[in-house]
Amino acid sequence: MYARITGTGSYLPARIMTNADMEKVVDTTDEWIRDRTGITQRHIAAAGEYTVDLAEHAARRALQAAGKKAEDIDLIIVATTTPDRIFPSTACLLQQRLGIHGCTAFDVQAVCTGFVYALGIANNFIRAGSTRCALVIGAETLSRIVDWKDRTTCVLFGDGAGAVIVEASDEPGILSSHLHADGSYEHLLNVPYGISHGVDQLRTLDAYITMKGNEVFKVAVNTLGRIVDETLEANHLKKSDINWLVPHQANLRIIQATAKKLSMNMDHVVVTVDKHGNTSAASVPLALDTAVRDGRIKKGETVMLEAFGGGFTWGSVLLKL
Ligand code: ACO
């Protein structure tokens, strides 16, 4: 029994914020942002548009692509760093939107690696025989937790959602997943306060993303190199067996370094960071959906998904589409 992706979908908020727009907000330039990150624009959620709204659009598109109805779903996992509420989970809010009752539904918090974690978990549910059809989503409104006065972070992030339908199948689908974390790096990338500080105290604190970008960069490049090796070894595959790399979209230079590690031409690496910025848990499924819909990634091809994010967390999923 395999878990196989049978449909993908994604959604981006209508408002596009270009680097020129960003120049009006903080002391930065289009040239600096492009050179250091590859980002030219990002999408920003409208006032009153929340993570569950983005997730619902992406979910409906994935359902349609898979030819499934909402009532076929028996597991919902939403990976998000920016849930709508403290509770219920965004997965439960989405379940209600889709009119589904009774199935397992929960959120996963692994920051930018969230979708890779969620897909690995769905794979285990399906292989254990307890799930037939899972809806797995990465959805974020990162623009709500960036400090719009901090040029070192606000230029990097964007909002969006990506979704996949994963079904039990006799045909090969997900071949392996590799999920890791090391909390000793929490000081390099975090939001320093959360709800356990108390609602009243949180109002007085700067609960925004903080990052030591340079140090994160170095660890990310080394760690993603290692996860590529681990994934290939576990599957007894050579670098040349991988048709497509769908990486977390944090920074074009990190993506290029991972592609080099795989000896992979950039023509076989899906890049959306230029148009989407870093959408955290949404970035991998957004990139996957983009390349499936424009016909680049075809059925039967071998695809490596990988991600790295706050925690630190990191991981990969190797699959046949
Ligand atoms: N515009 C203009 N100048 C800027 C900006 C900006 N937006 N931001 C910083 N600078 C300046 C700095 O002040 C510094 O100036 P100085 O030399 O006078 O002190 C200079 O640019 C260089 O800054 P660095 O931080 O050294 O720049 P770097 O080349 O490292 O690029 C970046 C920064 C893009 C953040 C990079 O380090 C990076 O991409 N890091 C990894 C990010 C990442 O992968 N995060 C993980 C996922 S995110 C998550 O999990 C939520």
Query: Are residues 179 and 165 part of one domain?
Result: no
Q: Does residue 217's CB lie within 6 angstroms of at least one atom of ligand 1? A: yes
How many domains is the chain built from?
A: 2
The residues, ordered by sequence, that sit 6+ positions from 299 with a Cβ below 8 Å of its Cβ are 321
Across all residues in the chain, what is the average pLDDT?
A: 97
Query: Are residues 264 and 153 part of one domain?
Result: no
Mean of the pLDDT values across residues 135-155?
Answer: 98
Mean of the pLDDT values across residues 85-93?
Answer: 98
Q: How far, in Å, is the centroid of ligand 1 from the Cα of 277? A: 14
Mutate to test the pocket of ligand 1, among 21, 150, 188, 214 (most ligand atoms within 8 A of CB): 214
Q: How far, in Å, is the centroid of ligand 1 from the Cα of 283? A: 19
Q: Does residue 256's CB lie within 6 angstroms of at least one atom of ligand 1? A: no
Query: Both tokens of residue 306?
Result: 């990988």
43, 57, 178, 248: the catalytic one is 248
Strand 159-169 to 133-141 pairing: antiparallel
- Which domain range does residue 91 map to? 2-170
Which has the closest alpha carbon to 162: 19, 307, 41? 307
Query: Are residues 146 and 12 part of one domain?
Result: yes
Q: Does residue 37's CB lie within 6 angstroms of at least one atom of ligand 1? A: yes
Query: Are residues 180 and 166 part of one domain?
Result: no
Query: Are residues 314 and 215 part of one domain?
Result: yes
pLDDT of residue 37: 97
DSSP symbols for 97-155: HHT--SSEEEEE--GGGHHHHHHHHHHHHHHTTS-SEEEEEEEEEGGGTS-TT-HHHHT
Q: What is the pLDDT of residues 162-196, one digit of tens each?
A: 999 999 999 999 999 999 999 999 999 999 999 99
Query: Are residues 83 and 125 part of one domain?
Result: yes
**How many angstroms separate the CA atoms of 205 and 208, rounded?**
9
Among the three residues 152, 170, 188, which one is the final residue of a domain in this structure? 170
pLDDT of residue 62: 98
Mean of the pLDDT values across residues 286-313?
Answer: 98
Among the three residues 170, 191, 211, which one is the final residue of a domain in this structure? 170
Mean of the pLDDT values across residues 46-55?
Answer: 98
Q: How far, in Å, is the centroid of ligand 1 from the Cα of 237? A: 35
Q: Does residue 281's CB lie within 6 angstroms of at least one atom of ligand 1? A: no
19, 123, 251, 278: the catalytic one is 278
Query: Are residues 158 and 244 part of one domain?
Result: no
pLDDT of residue 262: 86
Q: How far, in Å, is the centroid of ligand 1 from the Cα of 212? A: 8
pLDDT of residue 175: 98
Query: Are residues 293 and 223 part of one domain?
Result: yes
Q: Does residue 196's CB lie within 6 angstroms of at least one atom of ligand 1? A: no
Confidence of residue 133 (pLDDT cuts 50, 70, 90): very high
Query: Are residues 233 and 163 part of one domain?
Result: no
Q: Phi/psi of residue 78, each to 5°?
A: -110, 120
Q: Phi/psi of residue 85, each to 5°?
A: -135, 165
Mean of the pLDDT values across residues 71-86?
Answer: 98
**How many angstroms separate the CA atoms of 215 and 129, rounded?**
42
Q: Is 180 a catalytic residue?
A: no
Query: Are residues 157 and 19 part of one domain?
Result: yes
pLDDT over threshold 90, residue 313? yes
Q: Is 278 a catalytic residue?
A: yes
Q: How far, in Å, is the centroid of ligand 1 from the Cα of 247? A: 20
Mean of the pLDDT values across residues 261-280?
Answer: 95
Give the CATH number, domain containing residue 115: 3.40.47.10
pLDDT over threshold 90, residue 261? no
Among the three residues 136, 152, 170, which one is the final residue of a domain in this structure? 170
What single DSSP character describes residue 300? T
Confidence of residue 29 (pLDDT cuts 50, 70, 90): very high
Query: Are residues 112 and 133 part of one domain?
Result: yes
Q: Is 112 a catalytic residue?
A: yes
Atom 29 of ligand 1, residue of closest alpha carbon: 36
DSSP symbols for 233-266: HHTT--GGG--EEEE--S-HHHHHHHHHHTT--G
Query: Are residues 203 and 107 part of one domain?
Result: no
Q: Does residue 38's CB lie within 6 angstroms of at least one atom of ligand 1? A: no
